[in-house]
Amino acid sequence: MSFFRVTLLGSGSNGNCTLIETPKVRILVDAGFSGKQIAERLAGLGLTLADIQGVLITHEHSDHVMGLPVLANRWNIPVYCNRLTAESLKPDLPKFKDWRLFRTGESLDLEDLTVDTFPIPHDAYDPCGFVFHRGSEAVGFLTDLGYATKLVVERVRASTVLILEANHDVGLLRADTKRPWGVKQRILARHGHLSNEAAATVAAQIVTDRLRHLFLGHLSEDCNRPELAEQVVKSKLEQMGVAHVQIHKTFQGNPNSPLEVEGPLDKETPEKGFPAEGPALAPRDYVSPKVSEPSPAVFVLRAA
């Protein structure tokens, strides 16, 4: 049996963490809840942090790394990120050693998964998006970006499942009384976050016959509503005559149901389901972190 399972443990502007599972590996994308919260949400799936073999970090903002000290220090979970992100996280992880660094633009092999990494425009050190490939399936992560560059669209068009940011409703954000003007400007800027309308436009650019599931993620608690985001994106796709994509709401406070994506049967895959403890992951390229180096602009992109 071939498994490729995606579970959003929670998504929103106050915390993001997703579990990706195959028969050979279980990894998290971001760790934006407390270690305790992540453990509790994994427990709902019958898992513990000891079952996790790596955590990939999109960028260093707290809604993506809040639980990282617990995952790294207490559970010794390897951390996969680029060098600038690692450097910004190290002050909170002075003793942690198991950094698995990649250069944004490279592809990583994690057991039976290949992960494409690509840069996104956001106000962080070196923020990136991911596409996880297994067989003919591809799960894309596209949150925390001000707009979709041509490269971003090109990378995530391979997705059969896409987690796409729909951060705010522009009207609700403008009317919000909690956020000062400067913060609102930051959110609306080209290195900020996608509004519902912008998400709909990106979805329209990205949608292919292959895309089957679209999760609308990273919603602002104050300046958006799941129903509103869904309605804006849905009507845009309907206008285009797209009816084959299932849109999923996501939530800050609770996980989505696991989504099982079936890829073609992998001959090397054991048929027993998930191992209790998988083999250690080895990144294809390990780059020793050096603070003084300039940011490498290396793009070793694999053809999709």
Nearer to Zn ion, 4 or 33 (CB): 33
Q: Report the residue number whose CB is nearest to Zn ion.
A: 61
Task: Identify which range of 48-56, 136-144, 203-211, 283-291 contacts Zn ion by CB under 5 A.
Answer: 136-144
Nearest distance from C-beta of residue 128 to Zn ion, angstroms: 11
| CA-to-CA separations, 198 to 45, 58, 74, 192, 194, in angstroms, rounded | 33, 20, 39, 12, 5
Nearest distance from C-beta of residue 144 to Zn ion, angstroms: 4
Task: Identify which range of 23-31, 53-61, 95-103, 179-187 contacts Zn ion by CB under 5 A.
Answer: 53-61
Does 126 engage in binding with Zn ion (CB under 5 A)? no
Does 61 engage in binding with Zn ion (CB under 5 A)? yes
Nearest distance from C-beta of residue 268 to Zn ion, angstroms: 36
The DSSP bridge pattern shows strands 246-249 and 79-81 to be unpaired
Nearer to Zn ion, 27 or 219 (CB): 219
Nearer to Zn ion, 10 or 263 (CB): 10
The residues that bridge with 168 in the sheet, in sequence order, are 195
Does 63 engage in binding with Zn ion (CB under 5 A)? yes
Mask: binding to Zn ion, 143-162, rule CB under 5 A, as x and -?
Answer: -x------------------
Nearer to Zn ion, 53 or 220 (CB): 220
Sequence-distant (≥ 6) Cβ neighbours of residue 206 within 8 angstroms: 148, 153, 156, 157, 159, 162, 164
Contact residues for Zn ion (CB under 5 A)? Answer: 61, 63, 144
